[in-house]
Amino acid sequence: VPECEIKLPCEMAIPETYIEDPSMRLEVYRRFSASSTPEQVDVLMAGLKDQYGDPPLEVYVLAELTTVRIAARRLALTVLEFKNNTLTATFHNSTPVKPDKIMGMLMKAPNKYQFNPPSSLFIRMSGVKGNELIRKTRDELETIVKMC
C-alpha cells in the first residue's frame, strides 16, 4: 500500500525558538516520521517536554498529524483531503475496513457521511477550522480504525 497523501491545511513546523539546533530539529522530525503507534508519539512528546519545555502549538499539531498518518496507514488510505468543508478518505483496495461497517456509518449519520464507490468516504465537517480540523480528522479515523 502506498503512503497516504495527506492534504490538510495546517502549520506544523517546529519553531527555531523551541529547538534552536537544526540537526536536533531534523532528528525530531525523523522521530515523528518513524512513529508507528499513537503511544510512540505520546512518548516522543513527553521527551520533548522534558528536554525543551512545553511544546508550542505547532509541535502539538505535528503530533496530531502524525497520529492521523498512523491511522491512515492502518486503514490503507491512499488520499486524505479536506476541501469545501468535507474530509475525503480514499481507501486502497486492501483496506481492512469492511463495507458493512461503512454502510452502518452511513445509516447512523446520513447527513454526515457519504460513500462514493468503489473507495471514497466523504465526511462533512462544516465549521471546522485550523487545528481543530486535525483533531477532528484524527477522531474520525480512530472511529473507523475501531471498526476493523
Question: What does the pLDDT read at residue 147?
Answer: 87
Higher pLDDT residue, 129 or 144?
144
Checking DSSP bridges between strand 113-116 and strand 77-83, what pairing results, if any? unpaired
> Residue 138 in 3-state DSSP?
helix
Question: What does the pLDDT read at residue 12?
Answer: 78
SS (H, E, C) 103-134: HHHHHHCCCCEEEECCCEEEEECCCCCHHHHH
Q: Compute the mean pLDDT over every residue in the chain, rounded to the nearest whole number.
A: 93
Q: How confident is the model at residue 9 (pLDDT cuts 50, 70, 90)?
A: confident
Q: Specify the pTM.
A: 0.90
pLDDT tops 80 at residue 47: yes
* C-alpha cell, 98: 469492511
